[in-house]
Structure 1
Amino acid sequence: MQLEKPDFVELLHLLAPDFKARVANNQIAVNAQIGKGYCWAEKLPSGITILVSDTCLKESVVVERPEGEEHYFTLQFNEEAADETDVATKPRRNVEEFESFVKLSHTLIPETFVFPKTKRLRSVKFFFNKEHLSTLVGKQAFEEVLSQYFPVVMSTENLEPIATEYRVMLDDLWTDKLNQPLRLNYIQNRVLLLLEKYIVKLYERRDLKGKKVKRSDDETLRLMKVEALLVKNFAVAPPTIDELSRISAMSPTKLKNDFKALYGLPIYEYYQKNRILKAKSLLVLAKYTIKEVGIRVGYSNLSHFANTFKKEFGYLPSEIAAKDGVLVYSK
């Protein structure tokens, strides 16, 4: 299968036959014969096109995007996730290899999009061009980003970690029933915030000469695996430092120092931050009771869950229904 144009709405229609599904309102549900999950796509008011998917397939589906003449960038967020249909009953944490990452690419370079078999993959992908970038960051910053930062990232083909800030916005998009008022504007707001956060992190990781932080690519990948393991399944206790040390092939001291340098928080503070953010995203969906959400993120004590939630957000889980279900982010 080939995607000839930088248009994820078109890709949705290309995927439909392989998923044995019919496109309705720019959305498809994976046929049970093929696996499970959904994909939806939109062309936003700015012209950006986005594809959001959450799939677990019996056989892989591969999409080739050949080199194109139109100049567009692709930013994609891929997360291998635990299957929440049985996450609360799993007795132990699976430590098989899996990855969660952010990747920037350009249409002048061929690319392959994979919807893997036997693994649940959640993904957000969007095409944007130089005009979108210039409008977002301003002309002066645009020239710097385009000349110093993007080329370095794309030439090395390095994958970046999915940080906490990303997950808050990604969880808003990873749903097959996004029925917000002004839906397209709501989606576009999240997309532009994701792009903005990505650029901010480029600035944080590199000095004015565009030099990389002193950490090998292999070490970064090992830290990304540690992070992915931490946030994969909140229904079970997190791995110990010794377990994470073995998985990452790093000493406990190096692991703790390097993890904090890459993700901005100590390991278990990071775990707790993502855990409570996951709880909030589940509550906003209004699909589960407070008790069910607490169990899904590993709290057996409802009072402890409520107090931790209030400490983080300033209000109780029971009060979230009055918040209208729309999360607002400060820049």
Structure 2
Amino acid sequence: MEDENEFLINVSDDNSASFFHQISHEKGGNWDGESLAFLDQNGDYQVVSFSYPNGMIVGVTSLLLKKKLRLVNKPTKSEKYVAIRIGFNGEIKNLKNREHTSEGIFMYNAAQPYEVTFPINTRLQWMVIRFPHAYFHQWNEKTAYKLKEVLQQHDQWFLYYRLTPEIEALVRETYKVSMNEDLRRIIFFARAYEIIGRILLLVEKEENELFATNVHAEDLNLMLKLKEDILSDFSSQPNLKALSEHYNMSLSKLHRTFKAVYQMPILKFFNQHRMEEANRLIKYSDKSIYEIGENLGFSSLSHFSTTFKKFFGYSPNELRS
């Protein structure tokens, strides 16, 4: 049964140009092969996307919704490809009780279904990079690397990684150039190359396994919602008992399912993202370092500074200066 307070969009990464043309026709927008922008009763949409001769697709999307959006990705077997979606909130305002946090790097193959619900009144932005398996093998000449092993699998697989400051800076640079019609096509391509390289480097350096394979679609969708819940308020540690009751799962199943998707325990996941949020706020907001630490749940400025430096290797003051 459809919820009258939300609207549904079915997407498939195998033909983005066809998808944008369809959306343009349905919503009264104008897709010119590169960009799409329209405003209707559901919200404000802006898309810039390019297809390249090697099969790579690179695009950015910005949404400000008046209705909740349920985005459903349907798997395809027509082509083998890898898709990367990198999301972040476009406006940094409240540090507490955020309705939604879209920050994160999602990488998956053509066989992976998923469903995400986006809330109203929040500027949401993400970048998409999609490339065929064959192109990746030609581009990366290493004979052994972790992603190569995963690409050889026919089953669905999924990777989530927190949005690091280095990759976020590249994504933000891509957004900045998206309105420059003379430069954006080549800059999108160049930034996509660098982002892919940095993600591969993260994967290779990570000691733990990052790829989740054959995760049931319902479990994945549930854990995507759980991620939003635990990262919606960084001022205190997640209440695991309350979460298990909310999702009608035992604590052991909650831990087991979460780790199957995100490859780490819930509290470690939360603490890593809290540090990335601190880095983001120091760089992109005008909040004082003391205020940022306090709102992120640290008991004192010294505790915040010590934890921050241990995680990043530099202090909050060094980052801001």
Higher helix share: 1
Aligned AA (1:163): Y
Contact persistence 2:85–2:126 (CA under 8 A)? yes
Question: Could you say if the C-alpha distance between residues 82 and 123 of structure 1 is closer, same or farther in structure 2, counting changes exceeding 3 Å?
Answer: closer
Aligned AA (2:318): E
Contact persistence 2:107–2:160 (CA under 8 A)? yes
User: What are the Cα deviations for residues 10-55 of structure 1, in whole angstroms up to 9, with x where unaligned?
Assistant: 877886788888899x677765976356444356797632122231
Alignment partner of 1:124 out of 124, 127, 135: 127
User: For the residues of structure 1 that align with 2:170 and 2:217, how far apart are their CA atoms?
Assistant: 30
Once the two structures are TM-superposed, the CA of residue 273 in structure 1 deviates from its matched residue by 0.8
Partner secondary structure for residue 55 of structure 1: strand
Residue 303 of structure 2: aligned partner:
304
Residue 3 of structure 2: aligned partner:
none
Correspondence 1:184-203 to 2 at 5 A: 184=188, 185-194=190-199
Contact persistence 1:40–1:51 (CA under 8 A)? yes
**TM norm structure 1:** 0.60
Aligned AA (2:57): T
Alignment partner of 2:137 out of 134, 139, 148: 134
Aligned AA (1:35): G
Residue 88 of structure 1: aligned partner:
95
Once the two structures are TM-superposed, the CA of residue 188 in structure 1 deviates from its matched residue by 2.1
Partner secondary structure for residue 274 of structure 2: helix
Contact persistence 2:174–2:191 (CA under 8 A)? no
Residue 286 of structure 2: aligned partner:
288
User: For the residues of structure 2 that align with 1:2 and 1:219, how far apart are their CA atoms?
Assistant: 19
1:104 aligns with 2:112: no
Aligned AA (1:270): F
Residue 225 of structure 2: aligned partner:
225
Root-mean-square deviation (CA, aligned residues, Å) is 5.4
Partner secondary structure for residue 160 of structure 2: coil
User: For the residues of structure 2 that align with 1:16 and 1:302, how far apart are their CA atoms?
Assistant: 50
Correspondence 1:157-176 to 2 at 5 A: 160=158, 162-164=160-162, 169=167, 172-173=170-171
User: For the residues of structure 2 that align with 1:260 and 1:66, how far apart are their CA atoms?
Assistant: 23
Contact persistence 1:75–1:103 (CA under 8 A)? yes
Residue 278 of structure 1: aligned partner:
277
Contact persistence 2:84–2:128 (CA under 8 A)? yes
Once the two structures are TM-superposed, the CA of residue 134 in structure 1 deviates from its matched residue by 0.6
User: Which structure 2 residue ranges, 5 or more long, are not aligned?
Assistant: 1-8, 178-185
Aligned AA (2:226): V
Once the two structures are TM-superposed, the CA of residue 293 in structure 1 deviates from its matched residue by 4.7
Question: Could you say if the C-alpha distance between residues 264 and 4 of structure 1 is closer, same or farther in structure 2, counting changes exceeding 3 Å?
Answer: closer
User: What are the Cα deviations for residues 184-226 of structure 1, in whole angstroms up to 9, with x where unaligned?
Assistant: 433421134446767999x9478xxxx957x765445444433
Once the two structures are TM-superposed, the CA of residue 268 in structure 1 deviates from its matched residue by 1.7
User: Which structure 1 residue ranges, 5 or more long, are not aligned?
Assistant: 323-331
User: For the residues of structure 2 that align with 1:57 and 1:308, how far apart are their CA atoms?
Assistant: 36
Question: Could you say if the C-alpha distance between residues 191 and 265 of structure 1 is closer, same or farther in structure 2, counting changes exceeding 3 Å?
Answer: same
Partner secondary structure for residue 51 of structure 1: strand
Identity %: 20
| Mean CA deviation greater in 188-197 or 10-19 | 10-19
Aligned AA (2:109): L
1:51 aligns with 2:59: yes
Residue 249 of structure 2: aligned partner:
250
Corresponding residue pairs, total:
297
Contact persistence 1:39–1:53 (CA under 8 A)? yes
Question: Could you say if the C-alpha distance between residues 22 and 273 of structure 1 is closer, same or farther in structure 2, counting changes exceeding 3 Å?
Answer: same
User: For the residues of structure 2 that align with 1:220 and 1:317, how far apart are their CA atoms?
Assistant: 35
Question: Could you say if the C-alpha distance between residues 20 and 228 of structure 1 is closer, same or farther in structure 2, counting changes exceeding 3 Å?
Answer: same
Aligned AA (1:191): I
Question: Could you say if the C-alpha distance between residues 74 and 54 of structure 1 is closer, same or farther in structure 2, counting changes exceeding 3 Å?
Answer: farther
